[in-house]
Amino acid sequence: MNLVLFDLDNTLLAGDSDFQWAQFLIEQRVLDREVYEARNIEFYEQYKEGTLDIHEFLDFQLKPLSRHPRSQLDAWHQEFMQQKILPLITPQARELVKRHMLGNNLCVIITATNRFVTGPIARALGISHLIATEPEQVNDEFTGQVFGLPCFREGKIARLESWLDEHNLTWMSFLESWFYSDSLNDLPLLNKVTHPVAVDPDATLKAHAEENGWPIISLR
């Protein structure tokens, strides 16, 4: 059996679901544009530059979840999927997933974006295994806090190894492993697998991939 890991934002998606979720809430007038839009853009730029403080960002991103009942959030998310996300899933991304799903592979999406945003996206892509940043919940309502370790940078390795342990697996359980990502933030995990693949990569990851002879592909 082989392990195939997919980053989500700007990899399987031709865009960033975290950024788009905040923009969607602004467009729905759930969040104030003047207060939130500039901050959302600022965090997105920090992520792309590799300078993001993940805890500061999660405080920004998860707080709105605590201000509304889960039923309302779920209703908004259905609209969000139709308006923002499904147009970002390219035929090339679906074909890549399909190809790996047909093989003897364990396919997992591993993403820094929180599970509320990404769970329905993983299902739309046909991938049942998702490792994501976990928003804290009490009685099925969000508290606005993060639960456990964010699934970001080195945290992706820790979260993955914990997930494997829960499924009675280790790295040694797999003949080979793949990780598809666009981002310099994923270099720790890309360096861990036997087949790192740069997907529409940022400049830093592209340079690293070229230097190390990693495949560079586009799903756009």
Q: Which of 7, 16, 182, 186 is catalytic?
A: 7
Q: Could you give the CA distance from residue 35 to residue 201 in angstroms, rounded to a whole number?
A: 31
Tell me the mean pLDDT in the region 198-216: 98
Would you state the pLDDT for residue 170? 96
Give catalytic status of residue 165 as yes or no. no
Q: What is the pTM of this model?
A: 0.95
Residue 199 in this model has a pLDDT that exceeds 90: yes
Helices marked H in 50-140? 54-62, 70-80, 91-102, 115-124
Cα torsion 24, 203, 206, 112 to 10°: value is -30
Would you state the pLDDT for residue 104? 83
Single-letter residue type at 3: L
Question: Is 188 in contact with 182 (CB distance < 8 Å)?
Answer: no
Give catalytic status of residue 9 as yes or no. yes
Would you state the pLDDT for residue 36? 87
Tell me the mean pLDDT in the region 128-151: 96
Collapsed DSSP state (helix, strand, coil) of residue 135: strand
Would you state the pLDDT for residue 93? 98
Q: Domains for the chain: give ranges and CATH numbers.
A: 2-217 (3.40.50.1000)
Would you state the pLDDT for residue 34? 85
Rg, Å, the chain Cα set: 17
Would you state the pLDDT for residue 45? 93
The separation between the first and the last C-alpha atoms of the chain, rounded to the nearest angstrom, is 29
Would you state the pLDDT for residue 116? 97
Q: Could you give the CA distance from residue 58 to residue 131 in angstroms, rounded to a whole number?
A: 16
Residue with the bigger pLDDT between 127 and 37: it is 127
Residue 155 in this model has a pLDDT that exceeds 90: yes
Would you state the pLDDT for residue 35? 82
Please give the structure tokens belonging to residue 63. 């707080």
CA 143 → CA 18, 134, 140, distances in Å? 18, 11, 9
Q: How many CB atoms lie within 10 A of CB 206?
A: 16
Q: Which of 9, 16, 186, 202 is catalytic?
A: 9
Tell me the mean pLDDT in the region 146-167: 97
Instruction: Name the nearest CA neighbour of 111 among 6, 1, 26.
Output: 6
* Strand (E) or helix (H) holding 108: strand 105-114
